[in-house]
Amino acid sequence: MICHELQQWDLNARQFIDQQQQQEANTVINAPAVPQEPWLSPAVPQPFNPSPYACMDLGCVCSYMRGLGGPGGQCVLSNGQPLRPALRKEYRQMTDNERQRFHSVLQQLKRNGEYDRLSEQHRQVGTASGAHSGPGFLPWHREYLKRFEIAIRMIDPGLAIPYWDSVLDFYLPDPRDSILWSPMFFGEADFNGNVLSSHVGDINNIKYFSRLGFEGRLFNESDINNVMAQTEIQNILAYTAPQQGCPFPPNYGAIEYSHSSVHLWVGGDMKPPSTSGNDPVFFLHHSFVDYIWEQWRQMRQSRWTREQAYPQDYAWCANQQHFANANMRPFEITNRGGLSNAYTDAMYQYAPRPTCTHQNIGNCGSAYLFCDTRFAFAHCVSKIKMGGNCFGLQGQDACFGGICMNGRCMPGQFGGVPQQAPITTPRPIPQPRPQFQPPQQQPAFSVGF
Protein backbone atom coordinates (compact mmCIF):
# COMPACT_ATOMS: atom_id res chain seq x y z
CA MET A 1 0.00 0.00 0.00
CA ILE A 2 2.78 2.42 0.93
CA CYS A 3 4.74 1.72 -2.27
CA HIS A 4 1.61 2.15 -4.39
CA GLU A 5 0.82 5.50 -2.77
CA LEU A 6 4.37 6.82 -3.16
CA GLN A 7 4.37 5.83 -6.84
CA GLN A 8 0.99 7.52 -7.37
CA TRP A 9 2.13 10.73 -5.70
CA ASP A 10 5.26 10.72 -7.87
CA LEU A 11 3.09 10.31 -10.98
CA ASN A 12 0.91 13.22 -9.85
CA ALA A 13 4.02 15.36 -9.36
CA ARG A 14 5.33 14.56 -12.82
CA GLN A 15 1.98 15.54 -14.32
CA PHE A 16 2.06 18.77 -12.31
CA ILE A 17 5.55 19.55 -13.68
CA ASP A 18 4.34 19.00 -17.26
CA GLN A 19 1.43 21.39 -16.67
CA GLN A 20 3.73 24.03 -15.16
CA GLN A 21 6.17 23.79 -18.04
CA GLN A 22 3.33 24.23 -20.52
CA GLN A 23 2.08 27.31 -18.66
CA GLU A 24 5.57 28.80 -18.54
CA ALA A 25 6.00 28.22 -22.27
CA ASN A 26 2.83 30.19 -22.89
CA THR A 27 3.86 32.95 -20.48
CA VAL A 28 7.11 33.69 -22.37
CA ILE A 29 5.08 35.42 -25.06
CA ASN A 30 4.09 38.11 -22.54
CA ALA A 31 7.71 39.10 -21.87
CA PRO A 32 9.54 39.29 -25.22
CA ALA A 33 12.30 41.45 -23.77
CA VAL A 34 13.35 38.70 -21.39
CA PRO A 35 13.14 35.37 -23.28
CA GLN A 36 12.63 32.28 -21.13
CA GLU A 37 12.71 34.40 -17.95
CA PRO A 38 9.37 36.20 -17.66
CA TRP A 39 9.82 36.66 -13.89
CA LEU A 40 12.50 39.30 -14.65
CA SER A 41 10.10 41.47 -16.62
CA PRO A 42 9.16 44.76 -14.90
CA ALA A 43 5.55 43.75 -15.41
CA VAL A 44 6.08 40.67 -13.22
CA PRO A 45 8.13 41.84 -10.21
CA GLN A 46 9.68 39.16 -8.02
CA PRO A 47 7.55 38.76 -4.89
CA PHE A 48 8.92 39.75 -1.50
CA ASN A 49 6.88 38.62 1.47
CA PRO A 50 8.80 39.00 4.73
CA SER A 51 7.61 36.55 7.36
CA PRO A 52 8.89 35.13 10.65
CA TYR A 53 8.53 31.65 9.12
CA ALA A 54 11.45 32.30 6.76
CA CYS A 55 13.81 33.03 9.67
CA MET A 56 16.84 30.81 10.15
CA ASP A 57 18.22 32.37 13.33
CA LEU A 58 16.84 33.73 16.59
CA GLY A 59 17.90 37.28 15.77
CA CYS A 60 15.48 37.25 12.86
CA VAL A 61 12.63 35.77 14.92
CA CYS A 62 13.41 38.26 17.69
CA SER A 63 12.28 41.22 15.62
CA TYR A 64 8.87 39.63 15.06
CA MET A 65 8.52 38.91 18.79
CA ARG A 66 9.23 42.57 19.62
CA GLY A 67 12.39 41.57 21.42
CA LEU A 68 15.65 43.48 21.70
CA GLY A 69 18.57 42.11 19.72
CA GLY A 70 22.08 42.05 21.12
CA PRO A 71 25.58 41.01 20.13
CA GLY A 72 26.04 37.54 18.67
CA GLY A 73 22.38 37.23 17.71
CA GLN A 74 21.15 37.39 21.29
CA CYS A 75 17.53 38.30 21.91
CA VAL A 76 15.86 39.56 25.07
CA LEU A 77 12.07 39.43 25.06
CA SER A 78 9.82 42.10 26.53
CA ASN A 79 9.44 40.05 29.74
CA GLY A 80 13.21 40.17 30.24
CA GLN A 81 13.73 36.49 29.39
CA PRO A 82 16.31 35.50 26.77
CA LEU A 83 15.09 33.73 23.65
CA ARG A 84 16.91 30.43 23.27
CA PRO A 85 16.74 27.62 20.71
CA ALA A 86 13.68 25.42 21.14
CA LEU A 87 14.35 22.19 23.04
CA ARG A 88 12.31 19.34 21.58
CA LYS A 89 11.55 16.67 24.20
CA GLU A 90 9.75 13.36 24.02
CA TYR A 91 6.07 14.18 24.59
CA ARG A 92 5.90 12.22 27.85
CA GLN A 93 9.01 13.94 29.21
CA MET A 94 7.44 17.38 29.06
CA THR A 95 6.41 18.66 32.46
CA ASP A 96 2.66 18.81 33.03
CA ASN A 97 2.92 22.59 32.85
CA GLU A 98 4.74 22.47 29.51
CA ARG A 99 2.27 19.98 28.08
CA GLN A 100 -0.73 22.03 29.15
CA ARG A 101 0.80 25.17 27.66
CA PHE A 102 1.51 23.28 24.44
CA HIS A 103 -2.11 22.14 24.20
CA SER A 104 -3.29 25.69 24.92
CA VAL A 105 -1.15 27.09 22.11
CA LEU A 106 -2.50 24.51 19.65
CA GLN A 107 -6.00 25.60 20.57
CA GLN A 108 -5.11 29.26 20.06
CA LEU A 109 -3.58 28.50 16.65
CA LYS A 110 -6.77 26.68 15.71
CA ARG A 111 -8.97 29.56 16.82
CA ASN A 112 -6.99 32.22 14.97
CA GLY A 113 -6.89 30.17 11.77
CA GLU A 114 -3.13 29.67 11.65
CA TYR A 115 -3.32 25.95 12.38
CA ASP A 116 -5.62 25.40 9.41
CA ARG A 117 -3.47 27.60 7.17
CA LEU A 118 -0.34 25.61 7.95
CA SER A 119 -2.22 22.31 7.63
CA GLU A 120 -3.44 23.46 4.22
CA GLN A 121 0.16 23.98 3.09
CA HIS A 122 0.83 20.29 3.62
CA ARG A 123 -2.40 19.31 1.91
CA GLN A 124 -1.59 21.38 -1.19
CA VAL A 125 1.76 19.67 -1.76
CA GLY A 126 0.95 16.31 -0.19
CA THR A 127 0.33 14.26 -3.32
CA ALA A 128 2.10 16.11 -6.15
CA SER A 129 5.35 17.75 -5.08
CA GLY A 130 8.83 17.27 -3.69
CA ALA A 131 7.45 16.74 -0.18
CA HIS A 132 6.95 12.98 -0.64
CA SER A 133 8.16 10.12 -2.82
CA GLY A 134 11.82 11.01 -2.96
CA PRO A 135 14.95 12.68 -1.54
CA GLY A 136 13.18 15.94 -0.69
CA PHE A 137 10.98 14.25 1.90
CA LEU A 138 13.22 14.89 4.92
CA PRO A 139 14.38 18.45 4.06
CA TRP A 140 10.82 19.52 3.18
CA HIS A 141 9.36 18.33 6.46
CA ARG A 142 12.27 19.82 8.41
CA GLU A 143 11.45 23.25 6.98
CA TYR A 144 7.73 22.71 7.50
CA LEU A 145 8.16 21.76 11.17
CA LYS A 146 10.44 24.75 11.73
CA ARG A 147 7.64 27.03 10.51
CA PHE A 148 5.02 25.34 12.68
CA GLU A 149 7.34 25.65 15.67
CA ILE A 150 7.84 29.36 15.00
CA ALA A 151 4.04 29.75 15.01
CA ILE A 152 3.98 28.07 18.44
CA ARG A 153 6.81 30.22 19.80
CA MET A 154 5.22 33.44 18.57
CA ILE A 155 2.55 32.70 21.23
CA ASP A 156 4.73 31.00 23.88
CA PRO A 157 8.49 31.41 23.25
CA GLY A 158 9.32 28.84 25.92
CA LEU A 159 7.81 25.94 23.99
CA ALA A 160 8.95 23.59 21.24
CA ILE A 161 7.36 20.83 19.17
CA PRO A 162 7.74 17.67 21.27
CA TYR A 163 8.52 14.41 19.53
CA TRP A 164 6.62 11.16 19.76
CA ASP A 165 9.02 8.24 20.13
CA SER A 166 6.59 5.51 19.06
CA VAL A 167 9.19 2.83 19.85
CA LEU A 168 8.19 3.37 23.48
CA ASP A 169 4.67 2.20 22.55
CA PHE A 170 5.72 -0.58 20.16
CA TYR A 171 6.94 -2.67 23.12
CA LEU A 172 3.47 -2.81 24.72
CA PRO A 173 1.18 -5.85 24.41
CA ASP A 174 -1.32 -3.51 22.72
CA PRO A 175 0.05 -0.04 21.81
CA ARG A 176 -3.51 1.28 21.58
CA ASP A 177 -3.61 1.07 25.38
CA SER A 178 -0.67 3.44 25.81
CA ILE A 179 -1.22 6.40 28.13
CA LEU A 180 -0.71 8.53 25.02
CA TRP A 181 -4.21 7.60 23.85
CA SER A 182 -5.86 9.10 26.91
CA PRO A 183 -7.36 12.53 27.60
CA MET A 184 -4.06 13.78 29.06
CA PHE A 185 -2.27 13.39 25.73
CA PHE A 186 -3.60 12.57 22.25
CA GLY A 187 -7.08 11.64 23.47
CA GLU A 188 -9.32 8.59 23.15
CA ALA A 189 -11.43 7.79 20.13
CA ASP A 190 -14.84 6.15 19.85
CA PHE A 191 -15.54 3.22 17.55
CA ASN A 192 -16.03 5.56 14.58
CA GLY A 193 -12.68 7.24 15.16
CA ASN A 194 -13.97 10.50 16.60
CA VAL A 195 -11.45 11.72 19.16
CA LEU A 196 -13.10 12.34 22.53
CA SER A 197 -12.03 13.87 25.83
CA SER A 198 -8.67 15.23 24.72
CA HIS A 199 -6.97 18.43 25.82
CA VAL A 200 -5.87 18.70 22.19
CA GLY A 201 -8.99 17.71 20.32
CA ASP A 202 -12.04 18.89 22.20
CA ILE A 203 -13.97 22.09 23.13
CA ASN A 204 -14.54 23.06 19.52
CA ASN A 205 -10.94 23.66 18.59
CA ILE A 206 -8.99 20.86 16.92
CA LYS A 207 -11.13 18.04 15.58
CA TYR A 208 -9.55 14.97 14.03
CA PHE A 209 -10.15 11.27 13.53
CA SER A 210 -8.04 8.20 14.25
CA ARG A 211 -8.44 4.46 13.78
CA LEU A 212 -5.60 3.01 15.80
CA GLY A 213 -3.99 -0.26 14.78
CA PHE A 214 -6.14 -1.18 11.78
CA GLU A 215 -3.12 -1.01 9.43
CA GLY A 216 0.62 -0.44 9.56
CA ARG A 217 2.80 -0.52 12.67
CA LEU A 218 4.80 1.77 14.90
CA PHE A 219 8.55 2.38 14.75
CA ASN A 220 10.71 -0.24 16.43
CA GLU A 221 14.36 -0.21 17.42
CA SER A 222 15.36 -2.22 14.35
CA ASP A 223 13.99 0.53 12.09
CA ILE A 224 16.22 3.09 13.77
CA ASN A 225 19.27 0.84 13.90
CA ASN A 226 18.84 0.14 10.19
CA VAL A 227 18.90 3.87 9.47
CA MET A 228 22.01 4.36 11.58
CA ALA A 229 23.79 1.57 9.68
CA GLN A 230 23.44 3.34 6.32
CA THR A 231 26.52 4.96 4.79
CA GLU A 232 25.15 6.15 1.41
CA ILE A 233 23.14 9.35 1.17
CA GLN A 234 20.64 7.84 -1.31
CA ASN A 235 19.61 5.37 1.41
CA ILE A 236 18.65 8.25 3.73
CA LEU A 237 17.37 10.90 1.31
CA ALA A 238 15.98 7.95 -0.57
CA TYR A 239 14.51 7.33 -4.00
CA THR A 240 11.26 5.89 -2.70
CA ALA A 241 9.33 5.90 -6.01
CA PRO A 242 11.96 4.93 -8.63
CA GLN A 243 10.96 4.23 -12.20
CA GLN A 244 12.43 1.63 -14.52
CA GLY A 245 15.96 2.70 -15.39
CA CYS A 246 16.89 4.09 -12.00
CA PRO A 247 20.36 2.68 -11.19
CA PHE A 248 19.66 2.58 -7.45
CA PRO A 249 17.54 -0.27 -6.07
CA PRO A 250 14.85 0.69 -3.53
CA ASN A 251 15.96 0.73 0.09
CA TYR A 252 12.88 -0.47 1.92
CA GLY A 253 14.45 0.47 5.24
CA ALA A 254 14.37 4.15 4.27
CA ILE A 255 12.75 6.50 6.77
CA GLU A 256 10.02 7.57 4.37
CA TYR A 257 8.77 3.98 4.10
CA SER A 258 8.82 3.18 7.83
CA HIS A 259 7.39 6.60 8.74
CA SER A 260 4.45 5.95 6.39
CA SER A 261 3.61 2.79 8.30
CA VAL A 262 3.09 4.87 11.46
CA HIS A 263 0.69 7.12 9.53
CA LEU A 264 -1.29 4.00 8.59
CA TRP A 265 -1.26 2.72 12.18
CA VAL A 266 -2.76 5.94 13.56
CA GLY A 267 -5.24 5.98 10.68
CA GLY A 268 -8.09 8.42 10.32
CA ASP A 269 -6.92 11.89 9.33
CA MET A 270 -3.29 10.80 9.72
CA LYS A 271 -3.54 8.25 6.91
CA PRO A 272 -3.62 10.39 3.73
CA PRO A 273 -1.38 13.46 3.17
CA SER A 274 -4.45 15.48 2.24
CA THR A 275 -5.66 15.41 5.86
CA SER A 276 -2.69 14.28 7.97
CA GLY A 277 -1.90 17.84 9.08
CA ASN A 278 -5.36 18.00 10.70
CA ASP A 279 -4.12 15.66 13.41
CA PRO A 280 -1.70 17.15 15.98
CA VAL A 281 -0.07 13.69 16.12
CA PHE A 282 1.37 14.50 12.67
CA PHE A 283 3.71 17.17 14.01
CA LEU A 284 4.98 15.06 16.91
CA HIS A 285 5.52 12.04 14.66
CA HIS A 286 7.48 14.09 12.14
CA SER A 287 9.48 15.69 14.93
CA PHE A 288 10.71 12.17 15.80
CA VAL A 289 11.42 11.44 12.12
CA ASP A 290 13.53 14.61 12.00
CA TYR A 291 15.27 13.54 15.22
CA ILE A 292 16.23 10.19 13.67
CA TRP A 293 17.60 11.99 10.61
CA GLU A 294 19.62 14.35 12.79
CA GLN A 295 21.05 11.39 14.71
CA TRP A 296 22.27 9.94 11.43
CA ARG A 297 23.72 13.28 10.29
CA GLN A 298 25.66 13.67 13.52
CA MET A 299 26.89 10.08 13.43
CA ARG A 300 27.74 9.67 9.74
CA GLN A 301 28.49 13.09 8.26
CA SER A 302 30.98 15.86 8.80
CA ARG A 303 29.64 19.35 9.32
CA TRP A 304 30.50 20.28 5.72
CA THR A 305 29.01 17.10 4.26
CA ARG A 306 25.71 17.61 6.05
CA GLU A 307 25.04 20.70 3.95
CA GLN A 308 26.37 19.33 0.65
CA ALA A 309 25.56 15.61 0.27
CA TYR A 310 22.40 15.07 -1.77
CA PRO A 311 21.43 12.20 -4.10
CA GLN A 312 22.11 12.65 -7.80
CA ASP A 313 19.45 14.25 -9.99
CA TYR A 314 18.05 11.34 -11.99
CA ALA A 315 14.65 11.92 -13.57
CA TRP A 316 13.97 8.16 -13.59
CA CYS A 317 14.72 7.95 -9.84
CA ALA A 318 12.68 10.96 -8.65
CA ASN A 319 10.67 13.74 -10.25
CA GLN A 320 12.33 17.11 -10.81
CA GLN A 321 10.82 18.68 -7.71
CA HIS A 322 13.16 16.42 -5.70
CA PHE A 323 16.31 17.67 -7.45
CA ALA A 324 18.93 19.26 -5.20
CA ASN A 325 18.52 22.82 -6.48
CA ALA A 326 14.79 22.65 -7.17
CA ASN A 327 12.54 25.04 -5.29
CA MET A 328 11.06 23.52 -2.14
CA ARG A 329 7.50 24.43 -3.05
CA PRO A 330 5.83 26.49 -1.54
CA PHE A 331 8.80 27.81 0.48
CA GLU A 332 11.55 30.24 -0.49
CA ILE A 333 14.47 27.79 -0.37
CA THR A 334 15.86 24.91 -2.40
CA ASN A 335 15.91 21.28 -1.35
CA ARG A 336 19.64 21.56 -0.68
CA GLY A 337 18.89 24.58 1.51
CA GLY A 338 16.95 22.19 3.74
CA LEU A 339 20.26 20.56 4.69
CA SER A 340 21.52 23.69 6.44
CA ASN A 341 23.20 23.28 9.83
CA ALA A 342 21.39 26.45 10.89
CA TYR A 343 18.27 24.49 11.82
CA THR A 344 19.91 22.68 14.74
CA ASP A 345 22.64 25.27 15.31
CA ALA A 346 20.26 28.15 15.90
CA MET A 347 16.57 27.24 15.82
CA TYR A 348 16.09 24.04 17.80
CA GLN A 349 17.82 21.11 19.48
CA TYR A 350 16.73 17.68 20.69
CA ALA A 351 16.71 16.25 24.18
CA PRO A 352 17.97 12.63 24.13
CA ARG A 353 15.51 9.76 23.92
CA PRO A 354 14.39 8.29 27.27
CA THR A 355 16.76 5.59 28.52
CA CYS A 356 17.22 3.54 31.70
CA THR A 357 19.44 0.78 33.09
CA HIS A 358 19.07 -2.08 35.53
CA GLN A 359 21.06 0.04 37.97
CA ASN A 360 18.91 3.15 37.45
CA ILE A 361 15.36 2.11 36.65
CA GLY A 362 13.96 5.54 37.51
CA ASN A 363 15.86 7.33 34.79
CA CYS A 364 13.11 7.42 32.16
CA GLY A 365 12.40 10.96 33.31
CA SER A 366 8.63 10.80 33.34
CA ALA A 367 5.74 9.55 35.45
CA TYR A 368 4.26 8.31 32.17
CA LEU A 369 7.13 5.93 31.37
CA PHE A 370 8.55 2.89 33.15
CA CYS A 371 11.79 0.93 32.87
CA ASP A 372 11.21 -2.60 31.57
CA THR A 373 13.90 -4.70 33.26
CA ARG A 374 12.87 -8.16 32.06
CA PHE A 375 15.66 -8.42 29.52
CA ALA A 376 19.42 -7.99 29.49
CA PHE A 377 18.93 -4.58 27.93
CA ALA A 378 16.65 -2.45 30.13
CA HIS A 379 14.62 0.09 28.18
CA CYS A 380 11.93 2.71 28.71
CA VAL A 381 8.34 1.89 27.75
CA SER A 382 5.14 3.90 27.81
CA LYS A 383 2.83 3.32 30.75
CA ILE A 384 -0.58 1.81 30.10
CA LYS A 385 -3.89 3.52 30.77
CA MET A 386 -6.42 2.08 33.20
CA GLY A 387 -8.15 -1.04 31.88
CA GLY A 388 -5.46 -1.57 29.25
CA ASN A 389 -3.71 -4.80 28.32
CA CYS A 390 -0.61 -5.39 30.49
CA PHE A 391 -0.15 -9.11 29.81
CA GLY A 392 3.37 -10.22 30.73
CA LEU A 393 4.10 -7.06 32.70
CA GLN A 394 3.02 -8.24 36.13
CA GLY A 395 5.57 -7.05 38.65
CA GLN A 396 6.51 -4.06 36.49
CA ASP A 397 5.41 -0.48 37.19
CA ALA A 398 3.58 -0.57 33.86
CA CYS A 399 0.17 0.92 34.71
CA PHE A 400 -0.36 4.64 35.15
CA GLY A 401 -2.11 5.13 38.48
CA GLY A 402 -2.62 1.42 39.01
CA ILE A 403 -1.20 -2.11 39.01
CA CYS A 404 -1.17 -4.98 36.54
CA MET A 405 -3.48 -7.82 37.65
CA ASN A 406 -4.53 -10.75 35.48
CA GLY A 407 -3.25 -8.99 32.38
CA ARG A 408 -5.21 -5.77 32.92
CA CYS A 409 -4.36 -2.42 34.53
CA MET A 410 -6.51 -2.08 37.63
CA PRO A 411 -6.78 0.60 40.35
CA GLY A 412 -4.12 0.21 43.01
CA GLN A 413 -0.73 1.41 44.15
CA PHE A 414 2.38 -0.18 42.76
CA GLY A 415 4.80 -1.02 45.53
CA GLY A 416 6.79 -3.97 44.26
CA VAL A 417 10.26 -4.29 42.84
CA PRO A 418 10.34 -4.79 39.06
CA GLN A 419 11.13 -8.35 38.13
CA GLN A 420 14.62 -9.04 36.77
CA ALA A 421 14.12 -12.57 35.40
CA PRO A 422 13.38 -12.93 31.67
CA ILE A 423 9.96 -14.23 30.68
CA THR A 424 9.09 -16.56 27.83
CA THR A 425 6.35 -14.50 26.19
CA PRO A 426 7.44 -14.02 22.54
CA ARG A 427 8.23 -10.38 21.78
CA PRO A 428 10.96 -8.49 19.94
CA ILE A 429 14.25 -8.30 21.80
CA PRO A 430 15.27 -4.66 22.23
CA GLN A 431 18.54 -3.62 20.62
CA PRO A 432 20.98 -1.05 22.02
CA ARG A 433 20.32 2.45 20.79
CA PRO A 434 23.09 4.40 19.04
CA GLN A 435 24.69 6.79 21.46
CA PHE A 436 23.77 10.22 20.15
CA GLN A 437 24.32 13.16 22.47
CA PRO A 438 23.08 16.48 21.06
CA PRO A 439 24.44 19.70 22.53
CA GLN A 440 22.99 20.27 25.96
CA GLN A 441 20.66 23.24 26.12
CA GLN A 442 18.47 24.44 28.94
CA PRO A 443 14.81 25.16 28.19
CA ALA A 444 14.11 28.74 27.23
CA PHE A 445 11.95 29.26 30.32
CA SER A 446 11.80 27.66 33.71
CA VAL A 447 8.86 25.49 34.66
CA GLY A 448 5.87 27.54 35.69
CA PHE A 449 6.61 30.57 33.55
What pLDDT shows up at residue 23? 62
Residue 251: the pLDDT is 87
pLDDT of residue 268: 87
Give the pLDDT confidence score for residue 441 in this predicted structure: 41
- Identify each DSSP E strand in 68-109 by its residue range: 68-69, 75-76, 86-88
| Residue-level pLDDT at 90 | 98
What are 402's strand-pairing partners? 411
pLDDT of residue 1: 77
- The two most distant CA atoms of the chain are separated, in Å, by 82
- Helix runs in 204-308, H state only: 221-228, 255-266, 281-300, 303-308
Count of other CB atoms within 10 angstroms of residue 271 = 23
Q: What is the pLDDT of residue 435?
A: 42
Residues 239 and 246 sit within 8 Å (Cβ to Cβ): yes
Spatial separation of the C-alpha atoms in residues 160 and 236, rounded to whole Å: 25
The list of the chain residues with pLDDT below 50 reads 28-32, 201-205, 207, 420-449
Burial class (CB in 10 A: 0-12, 13-18, 19+), 446: exposed
In the prediction, which pLDDT does 438 show? Answer: 42
pLDDT at 37: 56
